[in-house]
C-alpha cells in the first residue's frame, strides 16, 4: 500500500500537466493567428492602395488583395465552423488553430485552399446534390483562381523585348504613377513634360520641369533609349540619361532602372 499512493498521485497529475502545456500552446497559436490576420490586412491595404507602378502589374496586386481577403474572412470563419459542434476544449482548439495558422501562411495559394474547404464541406453534406455542388464550386475556384494567380505573377516581371527598331518607340509615353510624359518623334527629337527625379535622376528632389532634346536607340544586351537634352542645361545636371526597353506582359515599357536579378522596373514609362 505504501507504494500505491505516490503512483496514483503521479498518474492523477499527468492530465493536468498535459492540459497546461496544451493551453500554453493554444495561447501561442492564438497570438500567431492574430498576427497573421494583421499581416493579411496590411498586405491587402498595401496592394489595394499601392499597386505596382505599371498598369500591367495591377492584376497581381489584385490577386494579393484577394489572398489577403481570403485570409481575413475565410480563416476566422473556418475556426468558428470547425468548433460549431464542439465545446471550446483544448483538444479541439489546438488542431483547429494549427490548421488556421497554416492556412494564413499559405493564403497566397487560396485556390488550393478553396478546393480543400469544398472537399471538407462535401464530406459533411448529407445530400448527393450538395456534395456535387461543393466539389464543383471548389474545382471552379481552383481553376479560375489558379490561372489568375499564375498569369498575373508571370506578367508582373520585366522581360527581354527581343529585337526592337526605333520606329516601334515613337509616340507618347506616360510616367508610371506620375505626371510625366515623354514624346519620342520620328525626326530624332524628344519632349519630356513634367520631368521629375523619377524620370531624370539628376533633377533635385521635389522639382518638376519640361525638357527637350534629341534621342536615339542603342542596341545591346538590352535595347535602350538615350536622351540628350538640349544645350543650356545647368552644369550640375547630367548631359544624357537612358531608359531600358523592356516588356511587362505583352506591353513595351521604358525602365529608368531595371533590376535584372529580381525582374523589377521601379520607375519608368508606358504607352
* Tens-digit pLDDT profile for residues 226-268: 888 876 555 444 556 788 888 887 888 888 765 555 566 777 8
The answer to whether residue 142 scores a pLDDT higher than 50 is yes
Q: Is 84 exposed, middle or buried (0-12, 13-18, 19+ CB in 10 A)?
A: exposed
CATH topology classification for 166-270: Lipocalin (2.40.128)
Listed by start position, the domains of the chain span 4-155, 166-270
Give residue 91's pLDDT band: very low, low, confident or very high (50, 70, 90).
low
Residue 36, phi then psi, degrees to nearest 5: -65, -40
Positive or negative CA dihedral for 216, 249, 172, 269? negative
Q: What is the mean pLDDT of residues 91-114?
A: 81
Q: What is the mean pLDDT of residues 184-198?
A: 84
More confident residue, 35 or 231: 35
- Summarised one tens digit per residue, pLDDT across range 53-62 is 777 778 888 8
Give the lowest-confidence range in 43-52, 67-76, 232-241.
232-241
Helices (H) and strands (E) in the chain, counts: 5, 9
CA pair distance 168, 171, nearest whole angstrom: 9
Q: Determine which helix (DSSP H) or strand (DSSP E) holds 138, and give its type and residue range.
A: helix 128-155
Q: What is the mean pLDDT of residues 105-126?
A: 88
How much is the pLDDT for 10? 47
Q: Determine which helix (DSSP H) or strand (DSSP E) holds 69, and give its type and residue range.
A: helix 58-82
Of 217, 214, 215, 212, nearest to 245 by C-alpha is 217
Q: What is the mean pLDDT of residues 29-34?
A: 71
Using only C-alpha atoms, the chain has a radius of gyration, in whole angstroms, of 29
How much is the pLDDT for 247? 86
Give the lowest-confidence range in 136-150, 175-189, 232-246.
232-246
The answer to whether residue 168 scores a pLDDT higher than 80 is yes
Give residue 7's pLDDT band: very low, low, confident or very high (50, 70, 90).
very low
- Find out whether 135 and 120 touch, Cβ atoms under 8 Å: no
Amino acid at each position: 500500500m505504501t507504494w500505491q499512493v505516490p503512483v496514483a498521485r503521479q498518474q492523477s497529475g499527468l492530465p493536468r500537466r498535459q492540459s497546461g502545456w496544451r493551453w500554453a500552446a493554444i495561447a501561442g497559436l492564438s497570438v500567431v493567428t492574430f498576427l497573421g490576420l494583421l499581416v493579411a490586412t496590411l498586405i491587402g491595404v498595401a496592394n489595394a492602395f499601392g499597386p505596382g507602378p505599371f498598369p500591367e502589374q495591377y492584376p497581381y496586386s489584385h490577386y494579393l488583395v484577394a489572398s489577403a481577403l481570403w485570409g481575413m474572412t475565410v480563416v476566422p470563419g473556418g475556426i468558428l465552423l470547425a468548433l460549431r459542434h464542439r465545446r471550446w476544449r483544448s483538444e479541439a482548439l489546438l488542431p483547429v488553430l494549427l490548421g488556421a495558422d497554416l492556412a494564413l501562411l499559405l493564403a497566397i495559394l487560396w485556390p488550393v485552399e478553396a478546393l480543400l474547404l469544398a472537399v471538407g464541406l462535401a464530406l459533411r453534406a448529407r445530400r448527393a446534390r450538395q456534395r456535387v455542388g461543393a466539389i464543383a464550386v471548389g474545382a471552379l475556384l481552383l481553376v479560375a483562381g489558379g490561372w489568375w494567380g499564375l498569369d498575373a505573377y508571370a506578367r508582373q516581371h520585366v522581360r527581354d523585348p527581343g529585337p526592337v527598331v526605333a520606329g516601334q518607340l515613337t509616340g507618347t509615353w506616360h510616367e508610371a504613377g506620375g505626371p510625366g510624359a515623354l514624346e519620342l518623334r520620328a525626326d530624332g527629337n524628344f519632349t519630356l513634360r513634367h520631368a521629375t527625379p523619377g524620370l531624370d535622376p539628376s533633377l533635385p528632389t521635389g522639382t518638376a520641369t519640361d525638357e527637350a532634346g534629341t534621342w536615339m536607340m542603342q542596341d545591346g544586351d538590352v535595347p535602350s533609349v538615350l536622351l540628350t537634352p538640349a544645350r543650356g542645361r545647368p552644369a550640375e545636371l547630367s548631359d544624357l540619361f537612358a531608359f531600358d526597353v523592356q516588356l511587362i506582359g505583352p506591353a513595351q515599357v521604358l525602365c529608368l532602372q531595371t533590376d535584372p536579378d529580381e525582374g523589377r522596373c521601379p520607375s519608368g514609362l508606358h504607352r
